[in-house]
Amino acid sequence: MSVKTTVSDTGPWVGQPLPRREDARLTAGAGTFTDDIRMPGMLHAAFLRSPHAHARIVKINAEKARALKGVHAVITGEDVERLTKPISTIIPFKMFLPNYCLAVDKARYVGEPVAAIAAVDRATAEDAAELIEVEYEPLPAVVDPWEAIEQPPSLVFDEIKSNVIWHDTFSYGEVDDAFARAAHVVSDRFSVQRYISTALETMGVIGKWDSSGLTLWSGDQRPGFATHALTTALQIPHSQIRLVSPDIGGGFGNKRKATYMVIVALLARAADRPVKYLEDRQENLLGLVHASNQVMDLEMALDADGKILGLKLRDVVDEGSNVINPTLHSMLKFTNMLNNYTIPAVRFEGYAVLTNKCHSGANRGIGKPFMCFVIERAVEMAAKKVGIGSLELRRRNFIPASAMPYESPMGNVYDSGDFLATLDTALKTANYDDLLKQQEEARRAGRYFGIGIATAVEPNSLNLSAYTLMTGRTDTSGVGEGALVRMEGDGSVRVSLGNTASGQGYETVVAQIVADELGIHPHRVTVAPGFDSAVNPWLHCSGSFANKFSGTDVGAIIEAARTIRGKILRIAAHLTGRKAEELTIREAAIWVHGANEPLLPLAKVAMTAYRDLLRLPEGEMPGLEARHFYVDPQSNLPAMSKDDKRLRFQLTFSNSAHIAVTEVNPDTGAVKIHRYVIAHDCGREINPMLVEGMVHGATTHGIGGALYEDLIYDKNGQMLAGSFMDYLKPTALDVPEFEVVALETPSPFTPLGAKGVGEGGSIPSLAAITNSVEDALKPLGVTLTELPLTPNKIWDAIQKARGEEKRA
Amino acid sequence: MSELKQHDVAFTVNGKAETLSVSPRTSLADALRDTLGLTGTHIGCEHGVCGACTVLLDGKPVRSCLLFAVQAEGAAITTIEGIGDAQSPHPLQRAFNECHGLHCGFCTPGMIVTLSAFLKEHPQPTSADVREAISGNLCMCTGYQNIVRSALRAAELIEGAKP
């Protein structure tokens, strides 16, 4: 199938590159982001944050701050312990760890909030923060995750007598047999640094109490979980918490912060005024959330022909002070460790380790960029060992299109995809043979010119039953979403969702989907921007995560729309004396199948539903409103026997092949990207223009992770990248012009055949860039296993290789 | 410290004369957003790197987070609200929509303000020129490619509209 690039003026609307509805307000600067909301009497909050990585809090004296003119409320850990319960973890562990919104007994990372102030303006609140005297007793900081396991200098949480919050081994297939039969074994240690998407809008919250309870405005991308955490912490009924998400200036998994919400709620209650808090960029880099740094030891067994027989993996995730949802990286990495290969036997030993760093959490693709980095680096190493090209090794191991749907040893079911076709499309687009000639010429001229290839799956949606396997808890399972579709009396439609957009363009793509279902123009469909827990349909798993929109959310939208459609046809049949099965809806009218003229306008039926109540079919409820809560039918419960831990962790699988063409400057170690080719397949594309935009953005995120971004801590746990001067994001000059080609293999598992997009580019890009840089340095024989590939690191590797050359 | 002496400052914003009473430490960005309610100017880093807060000061792009409001005395300031709106969009605003030059929209006002000044001086830019022009504006969503396309498309629209 080919992807559409022009818009027609009739349906079907799904598949058309419709320009976005939300752009009119956003390009005019007329969006409403959290910081744009003002209300009468609103105060502004500032936090005092810990300068220590690990310190006992001996005493806090906030008297001077409280006395400062303009200050309305000050809270410290003592107040928090008295007024709240610990914030519930998203994934409750059996062990109890007190997770309060402010440091209570000790501070556990640089940047942890220790006190909070509400004042007439932010500057006054910051003045007050400077007046708070905290007596700290510094403790040894736990920084290195291996050290945290083996010889911990101290305990991050004394309660659990260890810094290992989770350790388990999962084994599938005959692993020992695979290694016994192996002709070749490849082994190495790989690592990835902490990095993060840094949405350009930092995280903010506004809180206000009134007789109906607490209302919060916050760009929270997973409102379902946030409200649950609040009710636990504040001990008020769930029904008295209302959460409103306005426009969100980028999410990428990072935009969720129950701790900020609890702090703001406490300040607003103490001051009896609305209170706003917004992170500054330093606070955002120090304390919102980090993607964890991870280390993995891999052993890959292959037969003499280069067929992969099995994997042994030992993995450590540095969770920082994360007790909200540890194991997230471990699980999402491990269960997808096949990438797109048929690997019959896998053993994974995982550690999730607490350290004195910012808590780790969700970030675009969670764990899978590193999964792909490890596997695609290992594939390159294996190809050398086997003595065949790495393209050939990939071809021999890809899950063939004919094997779909394919069940992995871990229990994931790959729905669709032709990985060979994706790779070949990328190679053809890149003119691969020509690239090889260019490389030959460049090398002859003494230039370091590299071609790097990586292929990847992009898993979609997340079956929350997975946590049963990780934590043993059995109170969360499956995955779903809510949608509300209401056709008004004039035939126009309003839709609201449990999910919130943070740039994905739901106001446009949801209108396209609903327009097709209800036979109207997308301009007649208004999708409510943002989220309001008092209005929108939502579940605890509602929100934007795990690429779940294209399958799970679309299911909810389509089911709600089809309920309305059925009702419209029944009412139309009743009004015209026809049978509902004879009728259809298109162009905003009711038609008899095959007729040349419409039977009656859609608006006539809609108006009847709202005002001509006695002419409705007997037993038919008035109105045209449907609220649907959808459970993704691909999610299942885990097999909980000791020997069988298979589960469908993720539910459908997009895929891609990336080719990065780079050149290394041997004098500086800097990497220049000459070309970047992407072939990708996310099934049926709902809006190809938006899909391609997400591919560009996600790949750029991966380029940042591969080359620039590093949330680096020193040996004392001090954060060294607290500004955009130190934490380097790719600019327009660092990113190449992407050459993107789309394949469309529809998923048999989702209502529209669509699969996830948005995380995809971030997954293979680390590996593609690294494979390319290593290839560029091939004349020097450099091996790259650690990210990011900063000029320093590459320069060092070059010097080391040259030194060895000289010695030899 | 909170009782800093207020200062009067007078400038024009989007063609309208304004006199504000501000604290000496109030940034121009905060004055525009909080005092004048012009919330289209976004704050992304407050240390002059991300470009989200870009406004025109006497026609030149500046970081409103790095200027104190009092420094703008007598200046003519243009914010995104003065560039165009949904009813009468600037060619850049049209082009960003046509070419999908934005996702979340948070960097967009700064991008458009920066590019509006750039296109005046470079009416027929190459994509390399555009990349250079926006290299001081960070976008976390788009990977910049469609922003570059939007700028080139806007240049076409502006050229086409000339008599």
Contact B102 A699 (CB under 8 A): no
Parallel/antiparallel/unpaired status of strands A738-743 and A671-681:
parallel
Contact B103 A127 (CB under 8 A): no
Whether residues B97 and B69 share a domain: the answer is no
Domain boundaries, position B101: 91-161
How close A55 comes to chain B (CA, Å)?
A: 29
Whether residues B79 and B14 share a domain: the answer is yes
CA atoms within 13 A on the CB side of A436: 5
Q: Which SS3 state, helix, strand or coil, does residue A189 take? A: strand
**pLDDT of the residue at B1:** 46
A-B CB pairs within 8 A amount to 189
What contacts A427, CB < 8 A, 6 or more positions away?
Answer: A391, A657, A659
pLDDT single digits (tens) A240-286: 999 999 999 999 999 999 999 999 999 999 999 999 999 999 999 99
**pLDDT of the residue at A470:** 84
E-strand stretches of A268-307: 275-278, 293-302
Residues of chain A positioned with their CB less than 8 A from the CB of B102:
23, 26-27, 503
How close A673 comes to chain B (CA, Å)?
A: 14
What contacts A762, CB < 8 A, 6 or more positions away?
Answer: A364, A365, A369, A698, A699, A701, A702, A705
State the Cα–Cα distance between residues A800 and A795, nearest whole angstrom.
9
Number of domains in chain B: 2
Whether B118 is in a domain gets the answer yes
Domains A23-31+480-631 and A398-462+650-808 in one fold = yes
Whether residues B15 and B61 share a domain: the answer is yes
> Which residue, B140, B146, B142, B84, is CA-closest to B109?
B84
Query: What are the counts of helices (DSSP H) followed by strands (DSSP E) for chain B?
Result: 6, 5
Mutation target to probe the B interface, by most B beta carbons within 10 A, among A27, A672, A737 is: A27
Residue with tokens 């391609």: A692
Cis amide linkage into residue A779, ω under 30° from 0: no
**pLDDT of the residue at A93:** 59
Contact A201 B138 (CB under 8 A): no
> Which residue, A415, A411, A393, is CA-closest to A341?
A393
| Paired strand residues for A61 | A133
> Which residue, A347, A337, A350, A296, is CA-closest to A165?
A350
Find out whether B40 and B104 touch, Cβ atoms under 8 Å: no
Domain boundary among B50, B83, B116: B83
> Which residue, A724, A410, A24, A222, is CA-closest to B84?
A24
Q: Does B24 touch chain A (CB under 8 A)?
A: no
Answer whether residue A29 shows pLDDT above 90.
yes
Neighbours of A663 (CB within 10 A): 19
Whether residues B73 and B134 share a domain: the answer is no
Helix (H) or strand (E) holding A250: none
Distance of CA A609 to CAs A565, A571, A587, A601, A606, Å? 12, 8, 19, 13, 5
CATH code assigned at B102 = 1.10.150.120
Whether residues B134 and B67 share a domain: the answer is no
Q: Does B132 touch chain A (CB under 8 A)?
A: yes
pLDDT band at residue A786 under the 50/70/90 scheme: very high
Answer whether residue A472 shows pLDDT above 90.
no
Find out whether A458 and A757 touch, Cβ atoms under 8 Å: yes
E-strand stretches of A12-92: 43-49, 55-61, 71-76
pLDDT band at residue B4 under the 50/70/90 scheme: confident
**CATH number for region A398-462+650-808:** 3.30.365.10
Answer whether residue A653 shows pLDDT above 60.
yes
Domain boundary among B83, B106, B126: B83
E-strand stretches of A543-644: 583-586, 589-592, 600-601, 625-631
3-class SS shares of chain A: helix, strand, coil, % to 5: 35, 25, 40
Per mean pLDDT, which range of A48-52, A470-474, A580-584 is the poorest?
A470-474
Please give the average per-residue pLDDT across A725-739, as a whole number: 98
pLDDT single digits (tens) A296-349: 999 999 999 999 999 999 999 999 998 888 899 999 999 999 999 999 999 999
> Which residue, A316, A22, A766, A206, is CA-closest to B100?
A22
pLDDT single digits (tens) A431-451: 999 999 999 999 999 999 999
**pLDDT of the residue at A518:** 98
Whether residues B153 and B135 share a domain: the answer is yes
Whether residues B61 and B98 share a domain: the answer is no
Query: What are the counts of helices (DSSP H) followed by strands (DSSP E) for chain A?
Result: 21, 29
Whether B2 is in a domain gets the answer no
Domain boundaries, chain A: 23-31+480-631, 398-462+650-808
CATH for the A23-31+480-631 domain, from 1.10.10.10, 3.40.440.10, 3.40.50.150, 3.30.365.10: 3.30.365.10
CATH code assigned at B12 = 3.10.20.30
Whether residues B22 and B60 share a domain: the answer is yes
Please give the average per-residue pLDDT across A579-591, as a whole number: 97
Contact B93 A36 (CB under 8 A): no
Contact A200 B43 (CB under 8 A): no
Q: Does B137 touch chain A (CB under 8 A)?
A: yes
Residue with tokens 């039977």: A599
Whether residues B57 and B104 share a domain: the answer is no
Contact A127 B2 (CB under 8 A): yes
How close A498 comes to chain B (CA, Å)?
A: 18
Cis amide linkage into residue A405, ω under 30° from 0: yes
Answer whether residue A182 shows pLDDT above 80.
yes
- Residues 59-88 of chain B whose Cβ lies under 8 A from any Cβ of chain A: 79-81, 84-86
Please give the average per-residue pLDDT across B21-38, as a whole number: 97
Whether residues B59 and B106 share a domain: the answer is no
Residues of chain B positioned with their CB less than 8 A from the CB of A504:
103
Whether residues B79 and B99 share a domain: the answer is no
Whether residues B95 and B29 share a domain: the answer is no
Contact B105 A20 (CB under 8 A): no
> Which residue, A191, A402, A394, is CA-closest to A297?
A191
**pLDDT of the residue at A570:** 98
Domain boundary among B83, B99, B115: B83
* DSSP 8-class letter at A459: E
| Paired strand residues for A668 | none
**pTM, two decimal places:** 0.97
How close B156 comes to chain A (CA, Å)?
A: 18
**pLDDT of the residue at A808:** 61
Tokens standing for residue A701: 């995120």
Distance of CA A259 to CAs A88, A97, A232, B30, B73, Å? 10, 15, 12, 26, 41
| Nearest chain B residue to A30, by CA | B40
Per mean pLDDT, which range of A628-637, B2-11, B100-109 is the poorest?
B2-11
**pLDDT of the residue at A1:** 43
| Nearest chain A residue to B131, by CA | A732
How close A25 comes to chain B (CA, Å)?
A: 7
Per mean pLDDT, which range of A93-102, A690-699, B39-48, B75-84 is the poorest?
A93-102
Q: Does B44 touch chain A (CB under 8 A)?
A: yes
| Nearest chain B residue to A690, by CA | B100
Residues of chain B positioned with their CB less than 8 A from the CB of A120:
2
Neighbours of A779 (CB within 10 A): 13
Whether B44 is in a domain gets the answer yes
Whether B138 is in a domain gets the answer yes
Tell me the percentage of chain A whose pLDDT exceeds 70.
98
Answer whether residue A763 shows pLDDT above 90.
yes
Answer whether residue A98 shows pLDDT above 90.
no
Distance of CA B56 to CAs A29, A452, B119, B159, Å? 15, 43, 13, 22
pLDDT single digits (tens) B53-101: 999 999 999 999 999 999 999 999 999 999 999 899 999 999 999 999 9
Contact A732 B131 (CB under 8 A): yes
Contact A19 B97 (CB under 8 A): yes
Answer whether residue A608 shows pLDDT above 60.
yes
Give first-to-last CA distance, chain B, whole Å.
Answer: 57
pLDDT single digits (tens) A521-570: 999 999 999 999 999 999 999 999 999 999 999 999 999 999 999 999 99
pLDDT band at residue A88 under the 50/70/90 scheme: confident
